[in-house]
Structures are given as C-alpha cells and as structure tokens.
C-alpha cells in the first residue's frame, strides 16, 4: 500500500449536515476518480450527530476523517484547523451542504498543478454567471464588498466572500497565525493577509440552490466584512465585538433618554426612581441587541437568555456606579468636566464589556 500522504485534502466544515454529508462524499469520489484525495470533516459538535455519520463513513473508507471540536464554533476557525491538519500538497475548502459544485475541484487542482498560482478561488460573479439566483440587494452588496476589498485590502477577487477555494498547503502555515477564526470571510482573510505575494487565480462556478429557506447571509456577511476591515486596519488591536458593543451602548443612551422622558411626563414617583427604571430599561435594550448582533454566533435563547439578562443588569449596574465614581475622581484631579465624564464612560464601557464577555457570553 502507498504510505505517502494524499495529494489533496478536502476540508468540509460542518454544522448540522448529517444528511448532506454522505451524498457529498459520494459525489466527490465520483468527481475525482484519478486523484489521491482525502476528506477531512471539521465538525463543531453538531447536535444532529454529523460527526457520528462522518466516523461511520470513515470506517468504510480510510480517506475520510473527522475532527470533532467541542465547545467551539466558527466556520473560519474550523477551516484553518482542518487545513493545518493536512499533510497533502494541496487543500480545498468547500461547503458541505451541496451548494458548491464538486466537479470544479478537478479544474482547481489542475490549475494549481500547472504551477502558475498559489490559490484558486471559485467565484460566483465571473462570466456573467452572477445573475439568476441573486436579488438586487445581494448583487449590490457584492458589488460594494468587492470594491472595498479592492480599494482597502488590495485584494483582487471578484467574489471575496466565496467559501469555495483550493490552495497550496504550505501557504497556510505562514499565514495561519494572522488569520481570524471568526466568521465566514476566510478566503478574503487569506488573500488580504497574503498580500501581493499570493498568486491568485479565479474560476467561475454556479452557486447551487439552498435546501432550507434563505439565510441571514446579507447581514452576517456585512458584519463579517466590517470585522475584517477593522482587524486589518488596526492590526488586530481593536476588537470588532468591542466596537459593536459600544455602538449598541450608544443606541442605549437614546433609549434611556426616551424612557426617562416618558416616566418624567407621567409624573409618578421621584426623579431617582425614574432614572433607575430608565437605566434598567436601557440595559435590557443593550442586552437584547448585543445578544442579537455582537454575540450573534453565541446567541442565548430560552432560560439562558433570562439568566443572561439578569447577569447583564447586575454587571452594568456595577459599571454605572464605577462610571460615576471614576468620573468624580477624575473631576477632583483636574476639574475638566468632559475628560472626567468621558473617562467614567469609557471605564464603564470597558468594565461592562470585559465582565459580560467573561460571564454572560462565555466563550469569547
């Protein structure tokens, strides 16, 4: 038996793809008859038992393996981990839900074998293949993201958010420490991090039909995109989550004032009571929006949502108290009102962010 590593590792990131996986594995086998390939499923402990299915497939075919990750979520991180586990000359990343056309794998492999490129990306937007399945909003969003990718990140891709690509395995060793493990923008991240040194080729493909409904893709991809831009522009020094958290906090200030105004107009009780209730309402507002956007990848629902809300109220109450304390302290030192006020607010925000990240939404 040949003891050498295969030529190509196909990474299949999965979350709840139990039924799609056997179909896809079969199709890949048919698409690559003369290629020495292996499949590496990277499953984030899917509740539907995808990893059990992957293991069963692997028991009949040693070319199929599975990494089951516990306590972690994230498409980009799963892909990076899979690529780093490969011993092959080339690695491919593709969706496991049958939306990516496996017959393109051979085209990509041949391009890489020719040696002129380090990475081949499958694009949904070349050769006028964009059209059909895409709404105008989506086409426009893609147009803008491409323009921004070109202008700011110097990445020349027609479909920077594509999740279907193949590259030389050695490329990833150099880039891995600088890649973000969150979100869907792994290709754009690789291209941006690789800079001008990476030789990229593109091939067209048609994005297959979605099996279950329409995803919240537009919003999610936009958020991912913003996150990557910020990370690259600040050298990873400013966390996108913190920026989101502060933006949500700013809307909370508006909610606070509105609540305070309403309570005040009702003229029941004292001002301190109004202020306390308005603060609690604003904190609840912040919780709901942080849970929906800032921590959309680890959104709390059901009982954990209630528990998280209570924890968040307590944490932010302490944050509000320390905000006032620190502002007083600063004001006592130099009497410049806006430095004192800003200092208090920043400390409060940092406290709320750090403590809620540690206790409410636990896995960063």
Using alpha carbons, select from 326, 314, 324, 298 the residue that is nearest to residue 352. Answer: 314
CB of 217 to Mn ion, least distance (A): 8
Q: Which of 29, 55, 99, 309 binds ligand GDD (CB under 6 A)?
A: 99
Residue 199 interacts with which of ligand GDD, Mn ion, none, CB < 5 to 8 Å by class: none
Q: DSSP characters for 261-328? A: HHHHHHT-S-HHHHHHHHHHHHHHHHHHHIIIIITGGG---SHHHHHHHHHHHHHHHHHHHHHHHHHH
Q: DSSP characters for 58-121? A: HHH-TTEEEEE-SS---HHHHHHHHHHT--SSEEEE--SSS-S-TTHHHHHHHHHHHTS-SEEE
Counting contacts by CB under 6 A, is residue 13 touching ligand GDD?
yes
- Whole-angstrom distance, CA of residue 74 vs CA of residue 184: 8
Counting contacts by CB under 6 A, is residue 78 touching ligand GDD?
yes
- Cβ distance to ligand GDD smaller for residue 209 or 268: 209
- Cβ distance to Mn ion smaller for residue 50 or 117: 50
Count of residues interacting with ligand GDD (CB under 6 A): 21
Q: Which of residues 204-233 bind ligand GDD (CB under 6 A)?
A: 215, 217, 221
Counting contacts by CB under 6 A, is residue 96 touching ligand GDD?
yes
CB of 102 to ligand GDD, least distance (A): 13
CB of 79 to ligand GDD, least distance (A): 8
Cβ(340)–Cβ(328) below 8 Å: yes
The torsion defined by the Cα of 127, 128, 133 and 134, in degrees rounded to 10, comes to 120
Counting contacts by CB under 6 A, is residue 27 touching ligand GDD?
no
- Whole-angstrom distance, CA of residue 231 vs CA of residue 217: 21
**Two tokens, residue 113:** 């074998």
Using alpha carbons, select from 69, 1, 73 the residue that is nearest to residue 40. Answer: 69
Counting contacts by CB under 5 A, is residue 17 touching Mn ion?
no
Q: Which of 16, 45, 46, 99 binds Mn ion (CB under 5 A)?
A: 99
**Two tokens, residue 208:** 């297959």
Site string for ligand GDD, 145-174 (x = CB under 6 A): ----------------x-x-----------
| Residue with tokens 């629902």, as numbered in its chain | 301
Cβ(84)–Cβ(2) below 8 Å: no
Q: Which of residues 295-334 bind ligand GDD (CB under 6 A)?
A: none
Counting contacts by CB under 6 A, is residue 189 touching ligand GDD?
no
Q: Which of residues 78-97 bind Mn ion (CB under 5 A)?
A: 97
CA 97 to chain centroid, in Å, comes to 18
Q: Which of residues 244-273 bind ligand GDD (CB under 6 A)?
A: none
The residues that touch Mn ion, with contacts defined as CB under 5 A, are 97, 99
Binding residues for ligand GDD (CB under 6 A): 13-15, 17, 42-44, 73-75, 78, 95-97, 99, 161, 163, 184, 215, 217, 221
């Amino acid at each position: 038996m040949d003891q050498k590593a295969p030529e190509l590792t196909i990474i299949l990131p999965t979350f709840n793809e139990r039924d799609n996986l056997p179909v896809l594995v079969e199709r890949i086998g048919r698409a690559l008859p003369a290629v020495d390939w292996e499949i590496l499923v990277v499953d984030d402990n899917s509740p539907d038992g995808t990893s059990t299915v992957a293991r069963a497939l692997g028991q009949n075919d040693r070319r199929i393996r599975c990494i089951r990750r516990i306590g972690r979520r994230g498409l980009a991180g799963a892909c990076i981990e899979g690529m780093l586990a490969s011993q092959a000359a080339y690695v491919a990343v593709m969706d496991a839900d049958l939306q990516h056309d496996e017959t393109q794998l051979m085209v990509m492999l041949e391009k890489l074998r020719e040696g002129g490129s380090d990475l081949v990306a499958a694009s949904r937007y070349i050769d006028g293949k964009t059209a059909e399945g895409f709404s105008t909003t989506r086409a426009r969003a893609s147009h803008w993201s491409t323009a921004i990718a070109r202008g700011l990140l110097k990445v020349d891709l027609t479909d920077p958010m594509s999740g279907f690509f193949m590259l030389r395995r050695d490329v990833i060793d150099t880039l891995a420490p600088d890649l973000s493990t969150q979100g869907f923008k792994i290709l754009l991240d690789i291209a941006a991090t690789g800079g001008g040194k990476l030789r990229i080729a593109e091939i067209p493909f048609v994005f297959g039909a979605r099996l279950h409904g329409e995803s919240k893709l537009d919003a999610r991809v936009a958020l991912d995109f913003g996150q990557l831009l910020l990370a690259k522009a600040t050298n990873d020094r400013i966390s996108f989550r913190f920026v989101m958290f502060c933006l949500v906090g700013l809307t909370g200030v508006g909610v606070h004032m509105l609540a305070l105004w309403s309570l005040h107009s009702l003229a029941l009780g004292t001002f301190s009571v109004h202020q306390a209730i308005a603060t609690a309402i604003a904190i609840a507002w912040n919780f709901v929006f942080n849970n929906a956007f800032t921590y959309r990848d680890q959104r709390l629902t059901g009982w954990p949502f209630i528990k998280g809300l209570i924890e968040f109220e307590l944490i932010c109450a302490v944050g509000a108290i320390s905000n006032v304390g620190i502002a007083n302290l600063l004001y006592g030192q130099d009497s410049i009102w806006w430095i004192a006020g800003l200092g208090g607010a920043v400390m409060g925000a940092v406290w709320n962010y750090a403590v809620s990240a540690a206790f409410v939404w636990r896995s960063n």
